[in-house]
Amino acid sequence: MPIYCFKTDDGEVVEREFLTGRAPRQITCDDGRTATRSVAEELRQMYVPSRKGWPLTCVASGVHAAQAGELRDHLARKGVPTEVTPDGDPVYRNAGHRRRALRARGIIDKASFC
């Protein structure tokens, strides 16, 4: 049986199990409070964003350690603030950030699917 989410007036989320399609709009909690079904909360609990591999320290698009500060400043001027390790490797927060940072440097990654 699926679990449905209900939200009380004070914001507490209560989970209850019902047959598919049989969940009521409102329930009465054990302490007497009323809770209304929250489809948004159900979706939020189902969706888990992928964090695999991010943040990504990229050695391939790195520079010499002596140029780390220069790369950091260049990307900031281009509107893509990026952390750069002391070794000169940029640290990308997510795929979009990586794409913008590479584009700002004129680098094309043909295997990036973008």
What are the pLDDT digits (tens) for 82-109?
Answer: 999 999 999 999 888 999 999 999 998 8
Spatial separation of the C-alpha atoms in residues 88 and 106, rounded to whole Å: 17
pLDDT digits (tens, 9 = 90+) for 42-96: 887 765 555 677 899 999 999 999 999 999 999 999 999 999 999 999 999 988 8
Burial 40-55 (b: 16+ CB within 10 A, else e): ebbeeeeeeeeeeeee
pLDDT digits (tens, 9 = 90+) for 12-29: 999 999 999 899 999 999
Spatial separation of the C-alpha atoms in residues 98 and 88, rounded to whole Å: 15
